Amino acid sequence: MGFKIDYSGKKIIATFSGQLIESHILNAFIEITEKGDIKNITHILFDYTNITSFTIVPDFIETIKIYTKFSVSWNKNINAIAVTTNTNLTAVMAKIIKHNKELIWNYMLFDNLNDALSFCNENE
């Protein structure tokens, strides 16, 4: 199906469902930076709890680095939160988190949407 985005105060939630492909994530990222109030948000939550599959793309981490480096010029203090139980996506997110210093934003991984939302609410 793709994704939908909810702009909620200082938090943006991108919810994905069905078969997740790289372009869904990148298109959501582009929409968030173009339409969201990126200068004033504290959290971008990527909810992958309803995806059915994800195929790892070899250069995905490099692509994320490019988009993040472009976006940090507006706001360096964003928590980029992924919520997933998908094994492939969890592995990719673990690699992304290892590059936190290069990416500037604080990338985080949760396996439960309620815990991720609680973190956002407690850290507004």
* pLDDT tens-place string over residues 11-69: 999 999 999 887 888 888 888 888 888 888 999 999 999 999 887 777 777 777 776 66
pLDDT at 100: 66
Distances in Å between the alpha carbon of 21 and those of 26, 59, 114?
9, 13, 24
- Nearest-10 Cα torsion for 84, 11, 30, 80: -50
The CATH number of 2-122, from 3.30.750.24, 3.40.470.10, 3.30.479.30, 2.40.50.140, is 3.30.750.24
- Determine the straight-line distance between the first and last CA of the chain, rounded to whole angstroms: 30
Provide the residue ranges of all domains of the chain, joining segments of one domain with +.
2-122
pLDDT at 14: 96
Residue 94 banded pLDDT, cuts 50, 70, 90:
confident
Residue 9 banded pLDDT, cuts 50, 70, 90:
confident
Asked if residue 109 has pLDDT above 90, the reply is yes
- Give the residue among 28, 105, 87 at the shortest CA–CA distance from 96: 105
Mean pLDDT of the chain: 85
Asked if residue 73 has pLDDT above 70, the reply is no
